Chains A and B, each alone.
Chain A
């Protein structure tokens, strides 16, 4: 993808989590998470609800705090000080289940705000970047509408464009299609597939196993706050090692 700086050598971890623990009071939400994601790698994170997958990716951009361990994004060690948190958030885009577009701003303004405020782009630069990315998610004709005037699938594509306007090194997807009507899932997945093909580093929490098969370099399965198993999709689906993985796959694939 031409927009991503390629200054980092291939093979170096884009994201690494080492020994990350998180508690909510006495409840341990994440247990000794050790994950390394290479530049350009696509990860699908799956597992039963409450297994900690959303919590895990929300730790990467510090929407959730964690009590132990270390998280790195590129060269930046994510500490608990505002400076490193801001630095990480400028490099990491996130797409939410509920879209979370800003309802009082137009589609174009949604996309322009953060580049102007956080990256100090001029209005002209921000607008040209926003229009370019709205074009890329094929929604440029809706630029002057408000989010409530769009369908769910369109809103989620705008949310993807909004995140891309920051030119992030990494994109996190937190169940991006779970709140969508079935007929809108495909347009969002297609957008994500296109992004993956352009070489974006992605971590996707999703139950879309077709997407995992097609796009993922690696599938990570979590249960009860711990990583149970990780493997390339072919191996993950055909030859799951753990009983919990088999049970989960049986439930989720049997349902579809």
Chain B
């Protein structure tokens, strides 16, 4: 395996990182609204978002990517693989993060909401200043855990023809006929991204558990 092949893999790695960041950041923004809708107390809104979450948690990510990629083309919107995958990952991440944060919002003690109300804080202030900062802390280990899943999930983008790390590995492997070496390296690159996050998540979990005592 030569220098050119390594560079090709690293370009694939760059797109994997880009997809992960876009999916995670956009998923966070959309997921925040999902979580707020899920805890809004308005029954119709809660029902609709519960349905949204159920659909994305109940179907494979690969199928979701297919639906966005071919579905958008079918209704006449022509998008390239990059955009389709980014949209698909965002929708997927928003559903999962929305559900993680719903749980975290509900885990903040009721007394915090009552004290905020008694102090005449508005809904937006109550959420922004009191509930969400505490919920974010509670949800951090699970959120990081999901980020790791999402990074690995971007490998499915290879199936709709987007050249990220996994597909780059596939292409190289077909050229030089050394699948074990190539996918070994690909695996190590995923591991280098994910493992520190997992360790950090576990560290946070221990830290919060110690503080809760």
Contacts and interface: CB of A to CB of B under 8 A. Distances in A.
Given A92-B118, A117-B121, 10 more contacts: A63-B118, A86-B120, A89-B120, A94-B118, A98-B111, A104-B133, A113-B119, A113-B121, A118-B121, A162-B119
A93 B118 contact: yes
Interface residues of B, number: 17
B114 A100 contact: yes
A96 B117 contact: no
A131 interface: no
Interface string B117-154: 11111100100011001100100000000000000000
A117 B117 contact: no
Interface of B: 109, 111-112, 114-115, 117-122, 125, 129-130, 133-134, 137
Contacts of A61: 117-118
Contact of B129 (A63, A101, A117): A117
A92 B117 CA distance: 11
A109 to B, nearest CB: 9
Contacts of B115: 94, 96, 100-102
Interface in A102-117: 102-104, 113-114, 117
Contacts of B130: 102
B137 A104 contact: yes
Contacts of A222: none
B111 A114 contact: no
A119 to B, nearest CB: 8
Nearest to B110: A100
18 contacts: A61-B117, A61-B118, A62-B117, A63-B117, A86-B122, A89-B119, A94-B115, A94-B118, A96-B115, A100-B109, A104-B134, A104-B137, A113-B121, A113-B129, A117-B121, A118-B125, A163-B118, A166-B119
